[in-house]
């Protein structure tokens, strides 16, 4: 059955990311240029932070979700303890080494108060590296909108104060109209991402997760308007393409857990090498970023409340008390994507994820009969051999050798 032969059917996604890659390669130069013209660059780490506020203030948001680099995580030990998580050590470490060009372009940081480690990062950025830092407070109790209206109130208040500080830093107050425009832009990005991730359906996606993940993370760095154009380009070129019909025999994995930063390939690569494939993720750097739009009701709708609602309830972070919702969501993801096994990635000393593991394990094994494997690791390559054995054994277990 021959369709219009516009692309390689054996490899239907070949070349699809080329344009995006080329554009991303220019990003640092473009940011530097924008800085020259007076535009401010705001670095942030965590997806609880609505980047709409940065965009509305006419500034450039850069999400500094980098990972996987041993050098910076070791450099961070100069200030943070060696048993802080590698993410937080790297955040400080990049300041020490000066090797991350994106960090070097940042004018001010926004830091969300999620866990103990990030609190210390913020203190060092401010006190030792004398960078302007804007804090965003986060309620830990967010069980549901209805049962905790005070959480939304608090978060809204924090967002309002961040808005004021960002406005001051950017040199002009942030107007509601600008926030609405930024919300539209970010919602468009979220919709395109969801479309690309799930096209044509969650169980037979055209793009493999590795490509989708790369596309998502490009959006942490790239000028958001240009990024939307890139997403539109990808969207246009995938419509009509079909994923390979034959099953590839690989074990379908959900990767969940600690932050999987830009550059942290160790676990995804090992899964691929050992005969598995990640079909979706539940991490704070993956598909969760495209979850749910910000909904402002009409022209009188409260933009700040809409942001608070969207951002408080859609990040898979164990610093929150919403464990039940996260368990349920994990089970939904497992069903939607026909997952056969769960890899629970715990960055060493990420205490929140590690502590919740036995609960997730119990829930998945008993309620869903779903195999789950804990992988504890950091940015050092020393454990590759053992992790490979663990994942291989896990795959053998699922296939039933």
* Cβ–Cβ under 8 Å, residues 359 and 328: no
Identify which of 46, 48, 61, 56 has the alpha carbon closest to the alpha carbon of residue 102: 61
Tell me the sheet residues that pair with 137: none
> Residue 393 interacts with other proteins (CB under 8 A)?
yes
Task: List own/partner pairs for 97-101 with CB under 8 A and 24 or more apart.
Answer: 97/71, 97/72, 99/71, 99/72, 100/64, 100/66, 100/72, 101/28
Nearer to other proteins, 325 or 388 (CB): 388
Contact of 347 with 86, CB cutoff 8 Å: yes
When asked if residue 355 is in the footprint of other proteins (CB under 8 A), the reply is no
DSSP bridge partners of 66: 262
184 vs 294: CA distance, rounded Å: 8
Task: Tell me the closest approach of the beta carbon of residue 263 to other proteins, in angstroms.
Answer: 23
Q: Which of the 8 DSSP states describes residue 175?
A: P
300 touches other proteins (CB under 8 A) = no
- Name the one range near other proteins by CB under 8 A: 202-210, 301-309, 329-337, 384-392: 384-392
> Which range binds other proteins by CB under 8 A, 5-13, 218-226, 314-322, 386-394?
386-394
Question: Rounded CA gap, 398 and 175, in Å?
Answer: 54
Q: Which of 71, 208, 226, 392 is in the footprint of other proteins by CB under 8 A?
A: 392
386 lines the binding site for other proteins (CB under 8 A): yes
Q: Which is nearer to other proteins, 14 or 397 (CB)?
A: 397
N residues, the chain: 401
Q: Which of residues 361-380 bind other proteins (CB under 8 A)?
A: 365, 371
- Cβ closer to other proteins: 104 or 365? 365
Give 225 or 399: the residue with its C-beta nearer to other proteins.
399
Looking at the DSSP assignment, which residues form a beta bridge with residue 277?
252
Report, in Å, the least distance between residue 86 CB and other proteins: 17
Should residue 351 be labelled a site residue for other proteins when binding is judged by CB under 8 A? Answer: no
Taking the complex as a whole, the smallest distance from the CB of residue 108 to other proteins amounts, in Å, to 40
Is residue 294 within 8 Å of 306, Cβ to Cβ? yes
**Minimum separation from the CB atom of position 372 to other proteins (A):** 9
Residue 389 interacts with other proteins (CB under 8 A)? yes
Give the Cα separation of 154 and 161 in Å (integer): 11
End-to-end, the C-alpha distance of the chain in Å comes to: 37
Q: Which residue, 29 or 359, is less far from other proteins as judged by CB?
A: 359
- Taking CB under 8 A as the criterion, the residue among 32, 164, 177, 397 binding other proteins is 397
Tokens of 34: 């924008």
400 counts as binding other proteins under rule CB under 8 A: yes
Nearer to other proteins by Cβ, of 104 and 389: the residue is 389
> What is the closest distance, in whole angstroms, from the C-beta atom of residue 396 to other proteins in the complex?
4
Nearer to other proteins, 355 or 365 (CB): 365
Nearest Cα neighbor of 368 from 336, 390, 320 is 336
Query: For residue 165, what is the DSSP state?
Result: H
In the complex, minimum distance from the CB of residue 343 to other proteins, in angstroms, rounded to a whole number: 14
- Min CB(366)–other proteins separation in Å: 12
For other proteins, the binding residue among 127, 225, 242, 399 (CB under 8 A) is 399
CB of 218 to other proteins, least distance (A): 34
Residue from 221, 209, 261, 263 nearest 24 by CA: 221
Sheet bearing 341-347, strands edge to edge:
276-282, 251-257, 341-347, 372-377
Q: Residue 286 is encoded by which pair of tokens?
A: 């993956």
Task: Sketch the per residue contact string, 303 through 342, with other proteins: x for CB under 8 A, - otherwise.
Answer: ----------------------------------------
Does position 247 bind other proteins by CB under 8 A?
no
- The site for other proteins (CB under 8 A) is made up of 358, 365, 371, 383, 385-387, 389-390, 392-393, 396-397, 399-401
């Amino acid at each position: 059955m021959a369709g219009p032969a516009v692309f390689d059917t054996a490899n239907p996604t070949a070349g699809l990311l080329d344009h995006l890659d080329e554009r991303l390669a220019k990003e640092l130069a473009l940011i530097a240029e924008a800085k020259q013209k007076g535009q401010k660059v705001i670095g942030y780490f965590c997806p609880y932070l609505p980047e709409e506020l940065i965009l509305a203030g006419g500034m450039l948001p850069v999400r500094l979700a980098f990972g996987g680099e041993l050098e910076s995580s070791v450099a961070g030990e100069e200030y943070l303890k060696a048993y802080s998580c590698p993410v937080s050590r790297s955040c400080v470490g990049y300041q020490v080494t000066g090797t991350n060009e994106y960090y070097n372009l940042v004018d001010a940081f926004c830091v969300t108060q999620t866990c103990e480690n990030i609190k210390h990062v913020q203190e060092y950025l401010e006190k030792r590296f004398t960078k302007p830092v804007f804090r965003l407070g986060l309620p830990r109790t967010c069980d549901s909108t209805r049962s905790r209206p005070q959480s939304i109130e608090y978060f809204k208040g924090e967002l309002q104060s961040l808005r004021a500080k960002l406005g001051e830093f950017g040199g002009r107050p942030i107007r509601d109209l600008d926030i609405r425009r930024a919300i539209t832009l970010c919602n468009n990005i979220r919709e395109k991402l969801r479309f690309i991730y799930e096209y044509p359906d969650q169980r037979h996606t055209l793009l493999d997760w590795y490509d989708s993940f790369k596309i998502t993370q490009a959006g942490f760095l790239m000028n958001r308007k240009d990024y939307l154009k890139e997403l539109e380009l990808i969207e246009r070129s995938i419509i009509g393409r079909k994923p390979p019909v034959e099953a590839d025999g690989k074990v379908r994995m959900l990767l969940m857990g600690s932050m999987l930063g830009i550059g942290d390939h160790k676990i995804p690569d090992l899964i691929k090498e050992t005969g598995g494939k990640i079909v979706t993720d539940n991490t704070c750097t993956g598909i969760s970023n495209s979850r749910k739009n910000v909904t402002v009701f009409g022209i009188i709708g409260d933009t700040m409340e809409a942001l608070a609602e969207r951002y408080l309830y859609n990040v898979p972070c164990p610093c929150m008390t919403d464990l039940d919702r996260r368990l349920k969501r994990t089970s939904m993801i497992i069903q939607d994507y026909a997952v056969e096994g769960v890899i629970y990635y715990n960055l060493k000393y990420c205490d929140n994820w590690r502590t919740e593991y036995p609960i997730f394990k119990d829930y998945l094994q008993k309620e869903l009969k779903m195999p789950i494997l804990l992988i504890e690791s950091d940015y050092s390559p020393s454990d590759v051999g053992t992790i490979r054995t663990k994942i291989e054994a896990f795959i053998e277990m699922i296939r039933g050798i």
